[in-house]
Amino acid sequence: MFSQTLRGVILSVPYSSAASYHQFFGDGEPPLSMGRGCGWQSFTAGDLVRERTGVSATYLFSGAHVPALYFGADTITVLDPYLPHIEPIVLDKKVGVAGQAVVEVDAYPIRVAADGTPAPSKLRGTWRFADGVLRLEYIRYSPRLGGYRTFRAFTFRAGATLPSVPPPHGLVRGILRQPAQNNLSVRVVHPDDELVRELVLPFTNRPRARVVDENYLVTKDNQGAVSRLGSAGYRRDLAVIADALSVTAAEAVEFVMDAAVLYDKAAPRDIEWPEYSVEDE
């Protein structure tokens, strides 16, 4: 049931930072098919598990990130659609070594290495028994570098639970105005081929006044190759993204650009973002 729920959310509720701006600064929640921010992906998974089993998730937070966690007597089960792992992580004290349990599972995207072999992403969970700290490390294969690298990592401390679920709008709106939000994106795992594509509007490398500029849109394919607006790769990726969202290509672009207008109104005028790389991965 955990596996079915995780897979269903990854394939049908894309990660979408753009959706968060519609939800908290616009007209409210967009259709679920247009995606949700990372926390709301986890809340969606948690709601589905509760509806099917009556079991409620625990939501620990690290910065702005929140997975759905299920604590047993000696186990933690992790569902984190934002770090799109193919199977749940189950950490078990009974099979721990040196005071911790470590489990690694495959995740999307599943890329292709230079020798033609599959190179799936990985999600590694580490549960430290002494203080209850949980660490999640999302690792992706880089075709450009020819090896794996850590793409995201979060540390969750015991007791660091959300004040409410969902959290207060004011808290979320404050997070969405922070410099760490250096792009708007929609990331899909298409249900037909289970390949990842992203439509991204980076904010860096241009003046603050030009945040709402469609010319800076890029796409990324399953291999992490970046295509710029107007290129054949961009049109190819965008068509698949739009199909996964059940909208037209123009509607997918409009969704992201309307979110950019909302971001532009909400974010500080003097904000400085960390660099967003538009290199091929």
What residues pair up with 29 in beta bridges, in sequence order? none
> Which two three-digit tokens encode residue 155?
């540390």
Q: State residue 58 phi and psi, 5-degree precision.
A: -105, 135
Q: Is the pLDDT of residue 271 over 90?
A: yes
Distances (CA, A) of 233 to 18, 34, 47, 241: 22, 22, 37, 12
Q: Which residues contact 149 (CB under 8 A, 6 or more apart)?
A: 139, 140, 142
CB 23 within 8 A of CB 31: no
Structure confidence at residue 163 (pLDDT): 84
CB atoms within 10 A of CB 263: 23
What residues pair up with 161 in beta bridges, in sequence order? 60
- Please return the burial class of 175, using the count of CB atoms within 10 Å of its CB with bins 0-12, 13-18 and 19+: middle
Q: Is 108 helix (H, G, I), strand (E, B) or coil?
A: strand
CB atoms within 10 A of CB 57: 21
Q: Per-residue pLDDT averaged across 211-227, rounded?
A: 98
What residues pair up with 135 in beta bridges, in sequence order? 126, 155
**How far is Cα 138 from Cα 266, in angstroms, rounded to an integer?**
30
Which pTM was predicted? 0.96
CB atoms within 10 A of CB 176: 21
pLDDT tens string 123-135: 999 999 999 999 9
pLDDT tens string 225-260: 999 999 999 999 999 999 999 999 999 999 999 999
Q: Per-residue pLDDT averaged across 22-45, rounded?
A: 97
Q: Give the closest residue to 110 by CA, choosing from 190, 34, 5.
A: 190
* Domain layout of the chain by residue ranges: 2-13+31-156, 169-266
pLDDT tens string 144-183: 999 999 999 999 999 999 989 999 999 999 999 999 999 9
> Which two three-digit tokens encode residue 268?
């500080």
Which residue bears the tokens 């059940």?
246
Q: State residue 143 phi and psi, 5-degree precision.
A: -60, -35
pLDDT tens string 59-111: 999 989 999 999 999 999 999 999 999 999 999 999 999 999 999 999 999 99
